[in-house]
Amino acid sequence: MTAIQTLDTPDGPFTLLADAEGRVLASGWTGEQGRILARLRPADRPHDVRAGETEAAAAVQAYYDGELSAIDAVPVAQHGTELQRAGWAALRRIAPGEPLSYTEFATALGRPSAVRAAASICARNAPALFVPCHRVLRGDGSLGGFAWGVEVKGSLLAREAGARRA
């Protein structure tokens, strides 16, 4: 069974979808379960989704309590091309408080000229927070886009920068 759970966070409601193995399939700052399911390609959407507790919820709470590394060990399941999967793995290696530009992210993928592909990898990332696409910025340091709003992205980056300085 696939469980969906909504938590209250300082950045608003956060909903996560996890499979029976505890892997996060999709997540984001919304209380609308349909928006979370829509982050997945139709072929990848689970059919048996029920409200329930998820193991990943504890990591979200720990993250917001200041333990930024709590999200690192949470397993995720993502379906995509080889480049997308490599990109999502690379996003998980970006340290809190040390965001990269899209150009730096493309370079980290071994494809320095593929800046648009790097941006697309971020845009298609379904398990937000656990795969921290919010840690990628425009070349000029501005926030750029974020599926859950630039206010949330800015808040996450400020939280991570503050914890890094502490």
CB 49 within 8 A of CB 17: yes
CB 31 within 8 A of CB 14: no
What tens digit of pLDDT does each residue of 20-56 get? 999 999 999 999 999 999 999 999 999 999 999 999 9
- Assigned CATH class of 82-165: mainly alpha
Q: Residue 140: is its pLDDT beyond 90?
A: no
Amino acid 83: pLDDT: 92
Please tell me which residue in 133, 136, 137, 147 is annotated as part of the active site: 133
The residue behind tokens 């329930």 is 52
What tens digit of pLDDT does each residue of 92-108 get? 999 999 999 999 999 99
Give the Cα separation of 78 and 67 in Å (integer): 24
Q: Does the annotation mark 122 as catalytic?
A: no
Give the Cα separation of 99 and 25 in Å (integer): 23
